[in-house]
Amino acid sequence: MTIDDYLQEGIHGKKVLKPEERKKYLGTLRERVVVVLTRAQVREATTYPEIARLLKENYKATLLLNGAMNYSDLAKYIALASKIKAPYKIIASPEHTSELGLVLASDTAVDKDTITIDQRPKQKAEKRKRPGFVSRFINKLKKKRN
């Protein structure tokens, strides 16, 4: 390293390899990512069973959680990681803003083609078994007419 390199590092900070990629994947590189979930997926009421399975299979991988999200959304994944005894980190750096809520990352390259999990279809609200107030009122009127 030359004196100019030391000066540039002192002025601009240490050079970072692929900064945009690290920003997107919560501080890690794409080649190290096992699986990701979007913020919307992390906000869902229950955890994805695929995450538990992949945490067990990749016991050396670290679960990276987006610190810009509410802790209540992250808590279920923290509990899951604790239960499995998997390492996790909450990444709360303004440098790592991302649409991702969770990244499971290895220390070494895994180079998986598909790192996303399809979002679960939203469950439709169950139909009411009991008719609403208006329907019951109309039915009572019809019965009185007969």
Residues 51, 56: Cα–Cα separation, whole Å:
9
Residues 37, 4: Cα–Cα separation, whole Å:
42
Please tell me the pTM assigned to this model.
Answer: 0.70
Q: Which two tokens stand for residue 96?
A: 């790592």
Per the document, the length of the chain is 146
Print pLDDT tens along the chain (146 aa).
Answer: 677 776 766 776 666 667 777 778 788 888 888 888 998 999 998 888 899 999 888 888 899 999 888 899 999 999 999 998 999 999 887 766 788 889 898 888 887 777 777 777 665 444 445 667 777 777 788 887 76
Backbone angles phi, psi at 27, to 5 degrees: 95, 0
What is the C-alpha R_g of the chain?
24
